[in-house]
Chain A
Amino acid sequence: MIKHLTCIACPNGCQLEVDEAGGHVIKVTGNKCEKGAAYARQEVEDPTRILTSTVLAKGLELKLVPVRTSQPIPKARLFEGIAAIRELKLGRPVKAGEIIVKNFLGLAADLIAARTVHLPE
């Protein structure tokens, strides 16, 4: 079966044609680069997304600390991820890139801080 996808791996947004059978990719065309083929495979076989949100800070200079998953996580688990992030509170200063939750949702991805946030002046 032929599936049409738009590659989201970069802003070019190539229109991909994916020949697929039983959830497995046979051939990808329309991609300007290899990332596109990889994206198509992933998107058909196990769609994933980077999840970003914010964690409530306590006693820091900002009210919210932006966070993200260090790698894409299964698309089907985005809302579960958001709910888990909502439960968190952060009371210590962090540096951008610092891990906040290791193996977020039991996945290989970690939840990391996306901004350096200090104690208030």
Chain B
Amino acid sequence: MYDVLIVGGGVTGTAIARELSRYRLKLALLEKEVELAFGVSKSNSGIIHPGTQNPPGSLKGKLCVEGNRLTKKLAKELGVDYKEVGELIVIFSEDDRPRLLKIKADAEKLGVTGLRIVGRDWLLEHEPNINPEVLAALFAPTAGIISPYRWVYDQAENAAGNGVEILTSHKVIGIGKEAGRFDVSVAGGKVFSARFVVNCAGLCADEIAGMAGITGITIKPRKGEEFILDKKREYISNHLLFPLPAPTSKGVLVIKTSDGNPMIGPTAEEVADKEDLSTSDDGLKQVLESVKKLIPAVNENDIIAYFAGLRPVAGDDFIIRHEDKVPGLINVAGIQSPGLTAAPAIALLVAGLLKKNGLGLRKKFFFHRFRAKTVHLFSLLVTRISPLIRKDPAYGDIVCRCELVSAKEVREAVRRGARTLDGIKFRTRAQAGRCHGGFCTTRIMKIMAEELNLPMTAITKRGKGSELIKEERT
């Protein structure tokens, strides 16, 4: 019998797992995909928002501001790169100034600090590529960037180190409730019993809630297409650049990422299908048009990759509550943007809800707060690489040429849980560069086959059905 079962291995679920792992609890996290972070948490902008552009009094606004503060601290503990690059919400017309000031005032009510309005001269000096017609901007220095998937993997690794069972390829298909206990069935036949269930199943949170008997939550996917530019353009902007927000989104942005590649997007479009991750010609057109108003120098020939993500929207705000009708069930639904930012704050809130509803939270004697930073050659100075190679020759065996990833890092990623080519890419960046894996894919597959003792025909891009090879000559 588990104390708590967490359903969903995105940033929300893993942040909750990590938070609860401080206490003497028997915990498991169930994720339907072969790896964590394969849902919404893999396809977003990677921005740790300061908290601007949220209505005062909203739950998401409050959790965003708090999440921003917590992320900074937690990233340090977990050895994840977090850069506070700051954001600029830019206007081009005097008519827009009142809206900009309103955003500032709203954000200040939510507790965002350090906000100030900067003028044209400041902007031209600090953002040399910005559209010279710019007038002013709201500068929010606490905006940061993080690698969303590494953030998930590293929190999960720390949670696992503190005793949480992380179970991937465990799709929840039914939830029974009897005598104060939940029986959670997963595809394949296993049943897990628990006193509490935390539902943070992203796009499927409505379905999980339904299984437990809570109707009335409906998740509507809102698609966002994003386009990644070559690392050569890393300094096309020095801050995150935002236009004035649109009604359903923050608009099309120029995004800095922790991997160096700038990104442009996202779009915002309601779609019917929770699996529709396709990009479109129109999406690209729209993004280019909007973004060129911010930075005219953006060039579509610099695009090296693109993707779409679906925001799990359930009304205007997050839904995070204990269901009194189904005692022991906590729903964490509608975690659209800024869910990546809010995750650590959501985790605290959920811990509080569990406690309030009868779960005893007693601290462990030994809680491993810190995690050793994963080695990435690409983030090291050349002079730091030499001693590494001397220690382990495999660091000198380069697998991915565009992103400078060694055989050692790939092997290490598999040992830390990567089971798919995408999992390797998210963890190490191998295949994420301009050649898109043309050079390194075969080598990575061989390392995976070796480490996991699998035939090449069993290696997948992102789980069953996405095998890369049809036949091997032997």
- What is A's interface to B at a CB cutoff of 8 Å? 56, 63-64, 86
Q: Can you list 5 pairs linking A and B with CB atoms under 8 Å apart?
A: A56-B473, A56-B474, A63-B473, A64-B473, A86-B473
Shortest C-beta distance, A90 to chain B (Å), equals 13
B451-474 vs A, CB cutoff 8 Å, 1 = contact: the mask equals 000000000000000000000011
Q: Name the distance in Å between A80's Cβ and chain B's nearest Cβ.
A: 18
Q: Which residues of B contact A64 (CB under 8 A)?
A: 473
Contacts of A63 in B (CB 8 A): 473
5 closest A-B pairs (Cβ-Cβ)? A56-B473, A64-B473, A56-B474, A63-B473, A86-B473
Tell me which residues across on chain A come within 8 A of B473, comparing CB atoms: 56, 63-64, 86
Size category of the B interface is under 10
Q: Nearest residue in B to A55 (C-beta to C-beta)?
A: B473
For the complex, give the distance between the alpha carbons of A47 and B313 in Å. 64
Within 423-474 of B, Cβ neighbours of A (below 8 Å) are at 473-474
What residues on A are CB-neighbors of B474 within 8 Å? 56
A63, B473: Cα distance in complex, Å: 9
Q: How far is the CB of A64 from chain B (nearest CB, A)?
A: 8
| Distance A64 CA – B474 CA, assembled complex (angstroms) | 10
What 0/1 readout, one digit per residue, does chain B (272-313) give for beta carbons within 8 Å of chain A?
Answer: 000000000000000000000000000000000000000000
What is the bound-complex CA distance between A86 and B471, given in angstroms? 13
Instruction: Please give me the residue from chain A that is nearest to B473 by CB atom.
Output: A56
Query: Whole-angstrom distance between the alpha carbons of A56 and B471 in the complex?
Result: 14
In the assembled complex, the CB of B474 is this many whole angstroms from the nearest CB of chain A, namely 8
Q: How far is the CB of A121 from chain B (nearest CB, A)?
A: 16
Residues of B contacting A86 in the complex (Cβ-Cβ under 8 angstroms): 473
Chain B residue nearest to A56 in the complex (CB): B473
Report the bound CA distance from A86 to B473 in whole Å: 9
A116 to chain B, nearest CB (A): 21
Measured CA separation A86–B474 after assembly (Å): 10
Chain B residue nearest to A63 in the complex (CB): B473
Measured CB to CB, the nearest residue on chain B to A54 is: B473
B443 → chain A closest CB, angstroms: 14
Q: B474's closest neighbor in chain A, by CB?
A: A56
A77 to B474, CA, bound (A): 24
Residues of B within 8 Å of A56, CB to CB, are: 473-474
Least CB distance from B292 to A in Å reads 43
CB distance from A73 to the nearest CB of B (A): 22
Q: How far is the CA of A56 from the CA of B474 in the complex (A)?
A: 7
Shortest distance between the CB of B472 and any CB in chain A (Å): 10
Closest A residue by C-beta to B472: A63
Q: From A86, which residue of chain B is reached at the shortest CB distance?
A: B473
Distance in angstroms between the alpha carbons of A63 and B474 in the assembled complex: 9
The docked-state distance in angstroms from the alpha carbon of A10 to that of B474 is 36
CA A63 – CA B449 in complex, angstroms? Answer: 16
Q: How far is the CB of A10 from chain B (nearest CB, A)?
A: 30
Docked Cα-Cα span, A56 to B473, in Å, equals 8
Cα distance A9–B474 when bound, in Å? 35
Closest to A64 in B: B473
The complex places the Cα of A64 from the Cα of B473 at a distance, in Å, of 9
Taking CB atoms and an 8 Å cut-off, the chain B residues in 129-174 that contact chain A are none
In the assembled complex, the Cα of A34 lies from the Cα of B474 at a distance in Å of 44
| A90 to B474 alpha-carbon distance, docked (Å) | 12
Interface residues of B in 19-67 (CB under 8 A from A): none
A111 to B300, CA, bound (A): 49
